[in-house]
Amino acid sequence: MNRLDHIRIVLVSPLYGGNVGSVCRAMMNMGLKDLVIAAPRDDFNAFDAVKWSYRARDLWDHHRAVPSLAEAVADCRLVAGTTARTGLYRQHSRTPREWAPDLLAAAADGPVALVFGPEDNGLSNDNIACCTHLIRIPSSDAYASLNVSHAVMVCAYELYVAAGEYSPPPAEGPEAPAALRERMFAMWRDTLLTIGFMEPPKADHMMLALRRILARGKLTEIDSRIMMGIARQMQWYAGTHEPPGREEV
103: alpha, beta or left, given left = phi > 0 and alpha = psi -120 to 50?
alpha
Q: Is the pLDDT of residue 126 over 80?
A: yes
Total residue count of the chain as it appears in this document: 249
Query: What is residue 25's predicted lDDT score, i.e. its pLDDT?
Result: 97
Q: Is the pLDDT of residue 165 over 90?
A: no
Domain count, the chain: 2
Residue 12 falls within a domain, yes or no?
yes
Domain boundary among 136, 162, 188: 162
Question: H helices then E strands: how many in the chain?
Answer: 10, 6
Same domain, 22 and 118: yes
Same domain, 77 and 137: yes
- CB within 8 Å of 64: residues ≥ 6 apart: 35, 36, 37
Q: 3-state DSSP helix/strand/coil percent for the chain, to nearest 5? A: 45, 10, 40
Q: Which residue has the higher pLDDT, 236 or 126?
A: 126
Count of alpha carbons within 13 angstroms of residue 103, beta-carbon side? 33
Same domain, 51 and 136: yes
Mean of pLDDT over the chain: 91
* Residue 105: CATH number of its domain: 3.40.1280.10
pLDDT tens by residue, 72-102: 999 999 999 999 877 666 778 899 999 999 9
Range in 108-112, 164-168, 216-220, 224-228 the model is least confident about:
164-168
Q: Which residue has the higher pLDDT, 145 or 149?
A: 149
Residue 249 falls within a domain, yes or no?
no
Domain that holds residue 102: 3-162
Question: How far is residue 62's CA from residue 24's CA, in Å, rounded to a whole number?
Answer: 11
Q: Is 173 exposed, middle or buried (0-12, 13-18, 19+ CB in 10 A)?
A: middle
CA angle 240, 243, 246 (to 5 degrees): 125
Residue 112 falls within a domain, yes or no?
yes
pTM assigned to the model: 0.76
Q: Which residue has the higher pLDDT, 60 or 168?
A: 60
Radius of gyration of the chain (CA): 28
Question: How far is residue 188's CA from residue 20's CA, in Å, rounded to a whole number?
Answer: 56
Same domain, 126 and 195: no
Same domain, 141 and 21: yes
| Alpha-carbon dihedral 177, 178, 181, 183, rounded to 10 degrees | -110
Same domain, 145 and 190: no
Range in 61-70, 140-149, 182-191, 239-248 the model is least confident about:
239-248
Query: What is residue 141's predicted lDDT score, i.e. its pLDDT?
Result: 87
Same domain, 114 and 13: yes
Residue 197 falls within a domain, yes or no?
yes
Q: Is the pLDDT of residue 243 over 60?
A: no
Same domain, 27 and 130: yes
Domain boundary among 137, 162, 187: 162
Same domain, 158 and 192: no
Residue 50, phi then psi, degrees to nearest 5: -65, -45
Query: What is residue 227's predicted lDDT score, i.e. its pLDDT?
Result: 93
Same domain, 158 and 208: no
- Report the Cα–Cα distance between both ends of the chain, in Å, rounded: 43
Strand-by-strand arrangement of the 34-38 sheet: 64-66, 34-38, 7-12, 112-116, 78-82, 133-135
Residue 247 falls within a domain, yes or no?
no
Domain boundary among 138, 162, 186: 162
Residue 170 falls within a domain, yes or no?
no
Query: What is residue 50's predicted lDDT score, i.e. its pLDDT?
Result: 95
| pLDDT above 70 as % of the chain | 94
pLDDT tens by residue, 37-58: 999 999 999 999 999 999 999 9
Q: Which residue has the higher pLDDT, 93 or 149?
A: 149
Residue 169 falls within a domain, yes or no?
no
Q: Is the pLDDT of residue 244 over 70?
A: no
Same domain, 125 and 93: yes
